[in-house]
């Protein structure tokens, strides 16, 4: 349970998620004005927090490994 809120996303992936989320969210207000753009909020939240619930459930992490001396 202690690893449930561990960061599971690489910093570069986090930036890409936020940018893609902003692009999707812009589809709600500009362009085709489709409600599917609201899904961009999920990408923005997961990118900002660094926590992907799906990665946690599947045991996946794209973060670089920390040296053993720094782990607690």
Asked whether the predicted pLDDT for residue 72 surpasses 80, the reply is no
Tell me if 19 is assigned to some domain: yes
CB 49 within 8 A of CB 41: no
- Domain hosting residue 35, numbered range: 11-58
In the prediction, which pLDDT does 28 show?
Answer: 93
Asked whether the predicted pLDDT for residue 4 surpasses 90, the reply is no
Tell me if 26 is assigned to some domain: yes
Tell me if 6 is assigned to some domain: no
The answer to whether the predicted template modeling score (pTM) of the entire model surpasses 0.75 is yes
Tell me if 16 is assigned to some domain: yes
pLDDT tens-digit series, residues 18-68: 999 999 999 999 988 889 999 999 999 999 999 998 998 898 889 887 655
pLDDT tens-digit series, residues 6-22: 888 999 999 999 999 99
Structure tokens at 61: 């992490």
Tell me if 4 is assigned to some domain: no
Distance in angstroms (rounded) separating the CA atoms of residues 70 and 43: 29
């Amino acid at each position: 349970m202690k690893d449930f809120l561990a960061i599971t996303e690489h910093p570069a992936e986090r930036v890409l998620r936020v940018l893609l989320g902003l692009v999707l969210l812009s589809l709600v207000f500009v362009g085709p004005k489709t409600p599917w753009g609201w899904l961009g909020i999920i990408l923005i939240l997961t990118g900002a927090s660094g926590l992907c619930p799906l990665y946690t459930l599947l045991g996946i992490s794209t973060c670089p490994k920390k040296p053993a001396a720094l782990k607690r």
